Amino acid sequence: MDTLLYLTRRIAQALVVILIVTVVVFGLLHALPGGPARGILGPQATPQQITLFNHDQGLDRPLPVQYLYYLRQLLHGDLGTSYTLNEAVSRLIEQRLPKTLVLTVLSAVLGLVLAIPLGMWQAVRRNKPADYVITTLSFVAYSTPVYFLGLVLVLVFTQVLRWFPSQAPQGDTVAQVFADPVALVLPVVTGAASMVAVFSRYMRAATLENLSEDYVRTARAGGSRQRAILFKHVFRNSLTPVIAMLGYYVPVLFGGALVVEQLFNYPGMGLLFWSAAQSSDYPVLLGCVLVISVATVVGTLLADVVQRIVDPRVKAGRT
């Protein structure tokens, strides 16, 4: 019952947050110089044309009315129309988002596969030289801008060593992306690097915490071998909270995708967003912001809920 109450409250909070996000996005859309009319009709438009356009689009009505209209459109999945690509924003995102997901999921998987054993190993070798070296490397990796790492990888692997092509796969569909796996290597590695740094820290901390628990002492006293305790109990108990952290990591993943896609010219949502920023294509920009924000809210919600279920001690929550 307690959990049900918590869930209801948490979901209600998330909905309020999403509502506030729509107000911010709506506000930005209307803060544009000259408003949407100037954006669509271009700088050459006459005042008469702008007045007519505003009337046609309902832009001369009071802002609260417009906001409700905007919300109704959102509920119908209508994010507006791109100024430059002359296509529905929702359609554009539908085409691009799967490719971004491919990139981020691959990066996340690679990052976790490396980070989890690394973090455990560090916990076991705590305060030994290996732990310090890896900790220092994570510290540096964490302070490194993703694009700088990407540039160095391009420089080394495409120019000096010539192992990989410098462009990501260019296909329109997900299947075409996978047709060129070698070209995916550099973008995925670039995206995974900061994940390794952050998640190995989480795993190290979670493992250390579990190693100091009573059940470990009991198992040791009962004669279980160190290795068995580590892999049977500590690993399982540390893994779930660490994977739940992925929920909080959603905005960072999208931010990383934005940079990696721009760097390797990978036609996903990040590149869509970046070119929209270059051409001031506001509906596309704000549509993407809305999608990413909703994903962030959902990710945080899932992480909170999973952490609470896994560890009943987390009662206060992160509110």
Partner 1 sequence: MSIRSASRWGLVAPRGGAANRHSPAPLIARFARNRLAVAGLVVVALFLFFCFVGPLLYSTDQIHTDLTQVNLHPSGAHWLGTDAVGHDELGRLMYGGKVSLLVGLAAGVLATVIGTLWGSIAGYAGGWVDAVMMRVVDAGIAIPALFILLVVSAITTPGVPGLIVILGLVSWLVPSRLVRAETLTLKRRDYVLTLRAIGGTHGRAIARHILPNSVSTIVVAATFQVADAILLVAYVSYLGLGVQPPSTDWGGMLSAGLTAAYSGRWWLIVPPGLAIILVVCAFNAIGDGLRDAFDVRGRG
Mark the segment that binds partner 1 (CB under 8 A) among 54-62, 76-84, 88-96, 249-257: 249-257
* Residue carrying the six token digits 């959990």: 3
Residue ranges in 49-88 that form contacts with partner 1 under rule CB under 8 A: none
Of 17, 34, 21, 11, give the one whose Cα is nearest residue 70.
21
Determine the Cα angle at 284 with ends 283 and 288, to 5°: 115
Residue choice 3, 9, 24, 56 for contact with partner 1 (CB under 8 A): 24
Residue choice 106, 116, 216, 259 for contact with partner 1 (CB under 8 A): 259
252 binds partner 1, rule: CB under 8 A? yes
Query: Is there a contact between 142 and 196 (Cβ–Cβ < 8 Å)?
Result: no
CB of 221 to partner 1, least distance (A): 27
* Residue carrying the six token digits 């470990």: 216
159 binds partner 1, rule: CB under 8 A? yes
d(CA 95, CA 106) in angstroms, rounded, equals: 18
DSSP string, 42-58: -TT--HHHHHHHHHHTT
d(CA 74, CA 90) in angstroms, rounded, equals: 10
Of 239, 215, 208, 240, give the one whose Cα is nearest residue 229.
215
Residue choice 190, 203, 282, 283 for contact with partner 1 (CB under 8 A): 282
Cα separations (Å) of 63 from 213, 221, 284?
Answer: 57, 69, 21
Mark the segment that binds partner 1 (CB under 8 A) among 145-153, 179-187, 214-222, 236-244: 145-153
Question: Which ranges in 57-128 belong to alpha helices (H)?
Answer: 63-75, 89-124
Residue choice 6, 7, 13, 171 for contact with partner 1 (CB under 8 A): 13
314 binds partner 1, rule: CB under 8 A? no
Residue choice 69, 132, 178, 231 for contact with partner 1 (CB under 8 A): 132
212 binds partner 1, rule: CB under 8 A? no
305 binds partner 1, rule: CB under 8 A? no
285 binds partner 1, rule: CB under 8 A? yes
Query: Is there a contact between 66 and 59 (Cβ–Cβ < 8 Å)?
Result: yes
How far, in whole angstroms, is CA 296 from its chain's centroid?
7
Residues that bind partner 1 (CB under 8 A): 13, 16-18, 20-21, 24, 28, 31-33, 132, 135-136, 138-140, 142-145, 147-148, 151-152, 154-155, 158-160, 166, 198, 201-202, 205, 245, 248-249, 251-252, 254-255, 258-259, 262-263, 273-274, 276-278, 280, 282, 285-286, 288-289, 292-294, 296-297, 300, 319
